[in-house]
Amino acid sequence: MPKFGLPASIHPVKFRNLLKEQIKIMALLHNRVSQKELKQKLFEETEHRITISFYRYFVINDPKNFRDELYKAFNKLKIFGRIYVAAEGINAQISVPESNFQGLKDYLDSCEYFKNLRLNIAVSDGKSFWVLKIKVREKIVADGISDPTFSMQERGKYLNAEEFNKLSESDNTVIIDMRNHYEYEVGHFENAIEIPSDTFRDQLPMAAEMMAGNEEKNLIMYCTGGIRCEKASAYMMHRGFKNVFHLEGGIIHYSNVAKQKNLPNKFKGKNFVFDERLGERITEEIISFCHQCGKPADTHTNCANEACHLLFIQCEECKNNYNGCCSNTCKEVKDLPDDVQKEIRKGIKNDSMIFNKSKRRSLSHS
C-alpha cells in the first residue's frame, strides 16, 4: 500500500474506492482510440470547428495538476489540439466545435491566469486536429537558455498591425523572422531577414550575432502566433539591444486585423501552421518552388512512405507522378504490401531533422 502514497493503516474498502476513482481519472486523461479511428470520426463530423491558437507566459507551480484540470475541462467541450504546459506558461493550438466556442471563452474567462487572453483565430478553415493532447514539458518553447539572469519580464514592446506597417517602412528598422526555414520559405514579411537555423534554440544566439553592431536600430521580431518572437524579444534585450519590438499575435493576428481594418498586408505568400493543414493562405503570391521539379508551388506535404515521412513542397503534377512520395524509391516502398512496409519501418526513428533534408535543393528522383 505505501507505494501508492497512502498510509499503511488505510481501510481496504476506502483504498479500493480511491483506487477506482484514480483509474476513472486516468482513463479520462488518456486516449484509448486509435489514430485512424479518431481521424475518421473527425471527418465524419458535420459541425464546423474553429481553429484557435493561444499562449501566455505565467508561473505555473504545479504543471502536472494544471494539465489534468485543463484536460478535463477541454474534453467536456470536445476540444481537439496540441497543448504544452510548463512552469513558464502554456502554448496551445486547438479546434473547438462552433457551438462550444462561447463555452471555451467562458471557461478561460473564469480562470484568473487566462483573463484577457488573446485567442488567435485561424485565417483559413480546415480539419486541423483530431485528438486532444496536453503534455507537460520543461518549457513551452525550447530555447536552450541556461543563463539564470534571463527573464521574460524584460521583453520587447508589442506592435499592432498598424504600428508594424508604419515602423517597418523606416530605414532604421530590421525585420527578423523567428521561424524555421521551411516556414519562411513559403511566406514571410517584405524585407524580413531569415535566421538560417533549424531550431529556435540555435536561432536566438545566431540572431544576436547577426545583429551585432545594430544595437540602436529598431528590431521587429515576428513568428506564427507570437510565442517565439515574444521570447526572442526578451532574449535580444538581454543581449543588449535597445529598441526591440515583437508583432502582437504574430502573423495570424496581424493578417486578421489587416483584413478587418483594410490595411495593406505586408506578408507575402502562405503561413505555415503545425497541424493537418500545414499552411493557410495569406496572399495569392506563390514565392516558393516544388522541391521535385522546381515549378512554383507552396503546398507542404509529408512523404506518403511512412518510413520516410519527409516534409517537403510538392506541386500537383509531382504529387500524381510520385503518388505523394518524395522519390521513386519511396514510391516503390509505398506500393509494397502493408506488412512489408511495417517491417521496413521497424527501428526507424524520425526526428526534427526530417524537415531539413530538402532545404534549398531539389529532391533526388532516385
Tell me, what's the pLDDT at 360? 46
The catalytic residue among 223, 229, 318, 325 is 223
Is residue 129 within 8 Å of 81, Cβ to Cβ? yes
Tell me, what's the pLDDT at 35? 54
| Strand, helix or coil for residue 92 | strand
Tell me, what's the pLDDT at 14? 55
H or E stretch covering 366:
none
**Alpha helices of 29-131 — where are they, by DSSP H?**
35-44, 63-76, 101-110
Tell me, what's the pLDDT at 357? 42
Domain ranges of the chain: 17-136, 157-269, 300-355
Q: Assign domain 157-269 to its CATH architecture.
A: 3-Layer(aba) Sandwich (3.40)
Number of neighbouring beta carbons within 10 Å of residue 257: 17
| 157-159 vs 243-247, strand pairing mode | parallel
pTM of the complete model: 0.73
H or E stretch covering 319:
helix 316-321
Contacts of 348 (CB under 8 A, 6+ apart): 307
Number of neighbouring beta carbons within 10 Å of residue 269: 21
What is the third-level CATH fold of 17-136? Alpha-Beta Plaits (3.30.70)
Tell me, what's the pLDDT at 153? 84
Tell me, what's the pLDDT at 353? 46
109-151 confidence digits (pLDDT tens): 999 889 889 898 886 665 668 789 999 999 998 899 999 999 8
Is 325 a catalytic site residue? no
CA-to-CA distance for 233 and 227, rounded, in angstroms? 10
Tell me, what's the pLDDT at 4? 38
Q: Comparing 17-136 with 157-269, is the CATH topology the same?
A: no
Per-residue pLDDT of the chain (366 residues; tens, 9 = 90+): 333 344 445 555 555 555 555 555 555 555 555 555 555 555 555 688 999 989 999 999 999 999 999 999 999 999 999 999 999 999 999 999 999 999 999 999 999 889 889 898 886 665 668 789 999 999 998 899 999 999 888 999 999 999 999 999 999 999 999 999 989 999 999 999 999 887 899 999 999 999 999 988 999 999 998 899 999 999 999 999 999 999 999 998 999 999 999 999 999 999 988 767 778 899 999 999 999 999 999 999 999 998 888 999 999 999 999 999 999 999 998 888 888 778 777 766 655 444 444 444 456 555
Tell me, what's the pLDDT at 272? 86
Q: Sheet with 243-247: list strands edge to edge.
A: 157-159, 243-247, 218-222, 173-177, 193-194
256-267 confidence digits (pLDDT tens): 999 999 999 999
Tell me, what's the pLDDT at 341? 79
